[in-house]
Structure 1
């Protein structure tokens, strides 16, 4: 990497700061741009942190909110299929 002649250093942010910035940016009423402006960072930097967070690069376990265990998903699918069958039988009885 080339040496900078201006002596200007790139700011280093703690992992805690990055995590809080990312979590703040995921709140529904906030945008990346507004959070970046509030924290005095470039929106592109915050976007990079958000991607790293999604990819699990902050040394954390990826978000579990959308993950469902396979066995649980199969059981839920079976229950839904049974319920659909029951509802179809009931609605068929009404039509007769």
Structure 2
């Protein structure tokens, strides 16, 4: 086993980059593999980003939007007015 003098470099991608990559992968007729090759990332990473995007963990503007948050806020304000 070779000995490495320097640690491996870990790439960090912005949320905007991840969202753009995911949106490109959802275009009809485009495969995950082709998008990953164009962006020089591993297809598994793009698949993981797609899953995180579906779960709401990756958002473009870094503000995490919880589903139903606006609805509960409206209900609470109505209850305070009564």
Give the TM-score band, short-chain normalised.
Answer: 0.5 to 0.7
Secondary structure of the residue aligned to 2:35 is helix
Comparing both chains, which one has the higher relative contact order based on Cα–Cα distances under 8 Å and sequence gaps of 6 or more? 2
Q: Which runs of 5+ in 1 are unaligned?
A: 63-96
TM-score calculated relative to the size of structure 2? 0.64
Cα RMSD (Å): 2.2
Shift of 1:20: 0.1
Deviation string 1:55-81 (CA, Å, 9 cap, x unpaired) is 11114548xxxxxxxxxxxxxxxxxxx
Structure 2 equivalent of residue 38 of structure 1: 38
TM-score, length-scaled by structure 1: 0.55
In structure 1, how many angstroms separate the alpha carbons of the residues matched to 2:45 and 2:5? 23
Give the count of matched residue pairs: 60
Question: 1:55 — aligned with what?
Answer: 55
Structure 1 residues 29 and 9: CA distance shift in structure 2, 3 A:
same
- 5+ residue gaps, structure 2, are 67-82
Give the secondary-structure state (helix, strand or coil) at the position aligned to 1:9. Answer: coil
Structure label with greater radius of gyration: 1
Residues 7-46 of structure 1: pairs in structure 2 closer than 5 A: 7-46=7-46
More helix by share: 1
